[in-house]
A and B are shown apart, each in its own frame.
Chain A
Amino acid sequence: MLRKVLVVARREYLAAVATRSFLIGLALMPVLMGGGAVLPRLLVSRPDLAAKKIVIFDTTGRQEQPAEIESAVALRFESPGRIIQQMAERRNQQEIVDANGKPTGPRYEIDLRLVDQVTDAMRLEQSDRIRAKEIYCFVELTPRLIAPSPPAAEVSSGSALSGAAFYADGGTLSDVRRWFDQAISDAVRAHRLQAAGLNPAVVQAANRPVIVDAFGLLERDRDGGIRKAESVDRLSAVFLPLGCMLAMFTLLWMTAQPSLESILEEKQQRISEVLLGSIQPFQWMWGKLLGSVLCSLTTLVIYFVAALVAAWYLDYWEKIPWKIAPWFVLYQVLGVTLYSSLFMAVGAAANSTKDAQALMMPLLIFLLLPMFVWFNVIRDPDSGLAVGLSFYPPATPLVMIARMVVSSSIPAWQPVATMLAMLLGTGLCVFAAARIFRIGVLSQGHTPSLKELGRWIVSG
């Protein structure tokens, strides 16, 4: 019994590992998974340096001001447009040049126009200039911007305008737009503070936020002494659990997907019929699962060594969560068995890749569920959602690893209980998958419906 399982496992392992595609997948998977984080940084390091020409129509100084600020604003202060222009000049001189004098961002060249009003004809003219690439955008600043508060009627109707408008061609999410949001806010705040007779520099100092230092929990060491709490930075709080979760996700899917392809190949190439003359379906399936687990552990070792080297090089050695390492391996082994058995069942039931994709769709919803709520789990690892998901076998490896990285106060019974739940879930999945597998591998030319699959599972 075991001998045949081992023979199949060895073949599966070698077939998976001793291939070029395994090595390519090994290198590409982290790139794909980490690409979303790395690519924007790479792009930021190569910024667009072309100067942005911006037209500002400022009507704040020429309009009738509210009575309570009229005297102060009109007599004592620059218009917001002028302040923004000065801020842009300061930015061009100080903020977009690195220590070596190398530019790090585009210059903002402000064309300030102090006007009485802005007509649609003027807006159209500037819009055409944007289309002709003469300018990047134009901004309107109206007296409402410096009014103490918008009229009550407008607020209640939900139509209160900010008093500033930004016009650009698809630049809603651009850096210029974000800079203007901040610059206009700063300009108006300064304007209001001065109108109220306050020094903006003093107020800014008073408003400086306090960043609370976050720590984990204190605990006793082996000698009975008290071990100081470790500080928790952003890396530990978000990226480390997310990284562990993604690593687990990668390992599970990298192994499960080839399991489906392998069984489909055996069906399509009629190898299954030959194998059935030599081995029982259950032995065959367990052999393939064991091969998948070994392949997954090989991948883990390679990634783990790479992660250790990276942590040492980047000086993150102290951040490595050594205490969860054994749990990671245990959850990974069970997770690979669970996922691979499900994928193999789909492969056994399908007759083609297209069939397999159709059968995978309902399964994907259940398997991807934990990835939709990762932030909730990390933010509150002891919430009902996080604990509940920990007992949902397809989510257990992902959720428990993330929770264990974030929190050190998970009750000891939970890892054990989730392991048992997973063992039970895995056992049921393997049983159901083996039933499908047993009938499915001999069922050529017919893709079963979900109802038929259910019948195969029940009746065998």
Chain B
Amino acid sequence: MNAIELQSVCRSFGDRVAVDQLDLTIAPGLIHGFIGPNGSGKTTTIRMILRVFAPDRGRVIVFGKEHGQVADDRIGYLPEERGLYKKMRVRDVIVFFAELKGSRHSPTDIDDWLQRFSLADRARHRVESLSKGMAQKVQFISAVVARPELLILDEPFTGLDPVNREVFKDAILDLKRSGMTVLFSTHDMSVAEQMCDSICMIYRGSKVLDGPLDQIRRQYGEDTIRVRSGLADSEVLRLDGVTRITDLGRMRELRIRPGADVQKILRDLVSSGPLEHFELGHPTLHDIFLRIAGNGCPQNGGTDVA
């Protein structure tokens, strides 16, 4: 049984269409990326999955039930807009959210999570005394401590420093290993690319990409070359087969047309000057998204062959 099934789901707010004809299937036990730019309809979709909103049309089936109640205890939710009771103590607030989810926790669970997130010595402190990063950890623990079967994370890494980002990533991967299904909403496609087993990309309320990450990459093939050389952009664009060049800073990303001779491009680059780095690979999710969205989405400074 799938954890979530959305069938032709639509939801509008006044004249604005937030979600349009969305189909989505979330298989159990995996990490699913629900990606798209800000305002694309991710949070609205999540709220429909949580039964906070009902869809205008279509079916929302969670754990096989179409007409379940809001706040199913089997679902843990970390919303994008986070908040905790500032006057409550750390441990009390975690216990409160755990009890709301049916008290399926033990004091040991809470201690383990506090230990893991280096918060054990803060358990008796009030939330208002915590830093933003620490409060975010408390929020995360509150979402997972009741051991939900499905964990929905809406932009979980926002505002985290690199060290805490890694701590969160490890925790999410461990939860997946323990059998938990994770729906992971983000606009940061590089993070999704690193962690997710499958991806659903949504843009302006409509699904534009869906499937296992490997399959998506295969679908787009190895049409991307990352190079570091002294050649000017105009000279690179004159190489046969190169259709687009994007400056990534220390490197440049070349998109080549299907069937282009990669060996010839490599030879041309070597013969034109010193070549420090050459890597043939798949396009990034971000790049794929830009290709799908076309002119309707923000570009990242790439230059096409005239």
Residues of A within 8 A of B (CB): 3-4, 7-8, 11, 15, 19, 266, 269-281, 442, 444
Q: Is the CB of B88 within 8 A of A7?
A: no
Q: Inside 8 A of A4's CB, which chain B residues have their CB? A: 100
A to B CB contacts below 8 Å, 7 in the list: A7-B99, A15-B87, A274-B139, A275-B100, A277-B78, A278-B71, A442-B52
Q: Inside 8 A of A272's CB, which chain B residues have their CB? A: 83
State in angstroms the CA–CA spacing of A270 and B79 once bound together. 9
B160 to chain A, nearest CB (A): 17
Q: Is the CB of B79 within 8 A of A274?
A: yes
Q: Is the CB of B99 within 8 A of A269?
A: no
Q: Is B96 an interface residue (CB 8 A)?
A: yes
Q: Is B101 an interface residue (CB 8 A)?
A: yes
Q: Is the CB of A270 within 8 A of B82?
A: yes
Closest to B46 in A: A277
Counting contact residues on chain B (CB < 8 A from A), the size range is 20 to 34
A3 to chain B, nearest CB (A): 8
Q: Is the CB of A7 within 8 A of B87?
A: no
State in angstroms the CA–CA spacing of A277 and B83 once bound together. 12
State in angstroms the CA–CA spacing of A287 and B96 once bound together. 13
State in angstroms the CA–CA spacing of A273 and B81 once bound together. 7
Q: Is the CB of B86 within 8 A of A277?
A: no
Q: Is the CB of B100 within 8 A of A273?
A: no
Q: Is B4 an interface residue (CB 8 A)?
A: no
Which one of A8, A271, A277, A444 has the highest number of Cβ atoms from chain B below 10 Å of its Cβ?
A277
Q: Inside 8 A of B152's CB, which chain A residues have their CB? A: 277
Q: Chain A interface mostly helix, strand, loop or mixed? A: helix
Q: Inside 8 A of A276's CB, which chain B residues have their CB? A: 47, 50, 52, 70-71, 79
Given the known A-B contacts A4-B100, A7-B99, are A277 and B71 also in contact in the complex, defined by CB atoms under 8 Å? yes
Q: Is B171 an interface residue (CB 8 A)?
A: no
User: Contact partner of B75 among A277, A279, A280, A444, CB < 8 A?
Assistant: A277
Q: Is B69 an interface residue (CB 8 A)?
A: yes
Q: Is B97 an interface residue (CB 8 A)?
A: yes
Q: Is B142 an interface residue (CB 8 A)?
A: yes
Given the known A-B contacts A7-B99, A276-B71, A278-B97, are A271 and B77 also in contact in the complex, defined by CB atoms under 8 Å? no
A357 to chain B, nearest CB (A): 22
Closest to A18 in B: B87
A12 to chain B, nearest CB (A): 10
State in angstroms the CA–CA spacing of A275 and B101 once bound together. 10
Q: Is the CB of A279 within 8 A of B82?
A: no
Q: Is B220 an interface residue (CB 8 A)?
A: no
Q: Is the CB of A279 within 8 A of B71?
A: yes
Q: Inside 8 A of A269's CB, which chain B residues have their CB? A: 83-86
B20 to chain A, nearest CB (A): 21
Q: Is the CB of A266 within 8 A of B96?
A: no
User: Contact partner of A7 among B47, B80, B96, CB < 8 A?
Assistant: B96
Per-position binary interface string of chain B over residues 170-214, scored 1 when its CB falls under 8 Å from any chain A CB and 0 otherwise: 000000000000000000000000000000000000000000000
User: Contact partner of A274 among B69, B82, B86, B99, CB < 8 A?
Assistant: B82
State in angstroms the CA–CA spacing of A269 and B102 once bound together. 24
Closest to B73 in A: A278
User: Contact partner of B85 among A15, A19, A280, A444, CB < 8 A?
Assistant: A15
Q: Is the CB of A280 within 8 A of B69?
A: yes
Q: Is the CB of A7 within 8 A of B100?
A: yes
A28 to chain B, nearest CB (A): 20
Q: Is the CB of B71 within 8 A of A15?
A: no
B118 to chain A, nearest CB (A): 22
User: Contact partner of A280 among B71, B77, B80, B101, CB < 8 A?
Assistant: B71
Closest to A282 in B: B70
State in angstroms the CA–CA spacing of A160 and B143 once bound together. 84
User: Contact partner of B142 among A273, A274, A279, CB < 8 A?
Assistant: A274
User: Contact partner of B79 among A3, A15, A266, A277, CB < 8 A?
Assistant: A277
State in angstroms the CA–CA spacing of A277 and B99 once bound together. 13
Chain B residues 16-69 with CB under 8 Å of chain A are 47, 50, 52, 69
Closest to A267 in B: B83
Q: Is the CB of B77 within 8 A of A278?
A: yes
User: Contact partner of A271 among B69, B78, B85, B99, CB < 8 A?
Assistant: B85
Q: Is the CB of B77 within 8 A of A277?
A: yes
Q: Inside 8 A of A15's CB, which chain B residues have their CB? A: 85, 87-88
Q: Inside 8 A of B80's CB, which chain A residues have their CB? A: 273
State in angstroms the CA–CA spacing of A278 and B139 once bound together. 13
Q: Inside 8 A of A266's CB, which chain B residues have their CB? A: 83
User: Contact partner of B83 among A11, A19, A271, A280, CB < 8 A?
Assistant: A271
